[in-house]
Structure 1
Amino acid sequence: MTTSCNIHATAIVLGTSGFLVTGASGSGKSALALSLISQARRRGRFAALVADDRVDLALENGQIVARCPPAIRGLIEIRGAGIAAVDIVPACILDWAILPVKAPYEPRLPPEQERLQLQVGDGLPMIRLPVEGALSPLDALLAILPEKLGL
């Protein structure tokens, strides 16, 4: 196992928790990250981008730390509209992985104690988060992790 790597993902902080948004290209990682950040900020909570599209991961003191490669620091892609500059934090400890999912939901219920395996550390607990429909992504996340989100 390596102690550092660079992966295709998006990293954000919501409240006191770090999230790695993962999935295939075009699955809605950046849009989900922007939505979660803006919804949290509208509620008066702390939220920020760490990195979009490429994330540097390092294992430090047993924790997975996310950082942004310098060339894309402070930038996020809004698919179909272009690249936007946003506020960032330089790094975060990752607590969870989020996989954006769209209907039809197969499987309907995610596997119990699902984890995202990474090249560093023991991986991260995975949350499958719906990205379309009437429920806002932040409301869904708050329902799934009510006391752990720090919001």
Structure 2
Amino acid sequence: MTSHSANIHATAVVVGAAGLLFIGPSGAGKSITAFNCLAAARRAGVAASLIADDRVIVSSEGDRLVATCPQSISGLIEIRGSGILRLPHVASAPLNLAVLVCDPSTADRLPPADEEHRIPDIGSLPQIRLMAGSAEPLSLIACFCPEIGIPQPFSP
């Protein structure tokens, strides 16, 4: 099967075996939300690493989507207003979920059921919405999507 790829504006991390793709407009809070998930996992002793920040190469490999980091930004994450950090990272990992980071002042009270994030000509991921600045974002993701395998103590 031919592999396709797209370079998208997003942030990707892996927590345990769960690959998370944070999406949303510029300035929505993708990077800080992903950073908060990584920090919570590490505090709990759960393996967690950055895949890529700002630009993520997403490819289709068989029946799954895989995130890869462009070499020039490997291990780097920009925390808006604070600067650029170097974090533990992996070169690539399978993705399980897209997390749309939303502005709480304009977001719908309840999102549509069974949302998907489509990457044209690549594939799609199940999607949830998370308000920017949410407390305990990793715990919220684990509760809304226990099937993706975020390990204890975050899963319900």
TM > 0.5: yes
Q: CA deviation at 1:94?
A: 0.7
Q: What displacement does 1:105 show?
A: 5.7
Aligned partner of 1:69 in structure 2 is 70
- State the one-letter code of the partner of 2:150: G
- The aligned residue for residue 12 of structure 1 is 13
Return the TM-score normalized by structure 2.
0.89
C-alpha separation in 2, matches of 1:46 and 1:105: 34
Q: CA deviation at 1:127?
A: 1.0
Gapped runs of 5+ residues in structure 1?
Answer: none
TM-score (norm 1): 0.91
Count of aligned pairs between the two proteins: 149
How far apart in 1 are the matches of 2:9 and 2:68?
A: 12
Cα distance in 2, alignment partners of residues 130 and 12 from structure 1: 18
Matching of residue 29 in structure 1 with residue 41 in structure 2:
no
2:114 aligned partner, one-letter code: Q
**How far apart, CA to CA, are the structure 2 residues paired with 1:111 and 1:125?**
12
State the alpha-carbon separation in 1 of the partners of residues 141 and 97 from structure 2.
11
**Hey, what does 1:126 align to over in structure 2?**
127
Misfit runs of 4+, over 4 Å: none
- What is the CA-CA distance between 1:38 and the residue it aligns to? 0.3
Q: Indicate the percent of aligned positions where both proteins have the same amino acid.
A: 42
1:136 aligns with 2:136: yes
AA of the residue aligned to 1:93: P
Which region of structure 1 is more displaced relative to structure 2, 114-123 or 36-45? 114-123
Tell me the SS of whatever aligns to 1:52. Answer: strand
Is the 1:54–1:68 Cα contact (8 Å) retained in structure 2?
yes
Letter in structure 1 aligned against 2:145: L
CA distance in 2, matches of 1:56, 1:111: 27
Indicate the residue corresponding to 2:154 in structure 1. none
Cα deviation for residue 101 of structure 1 reads 2.1
Please show how residues 75-86 of structure 1 align to structure 2 within 5 Å: 75-86=76-87
Tell me if the contact between 1:58 and 1:120 (Cα under 8 Å) persists in the aligned partners.
no
2:41 corresponds to which letter in structure 1? A
Deviation at 1:95, TM superposition (A): 0.7
Q: Distance in 1 between matches of 2:6 and 2:52?
A: 14
Q: CA-atom RMSD, angstroms?
A: 1.6
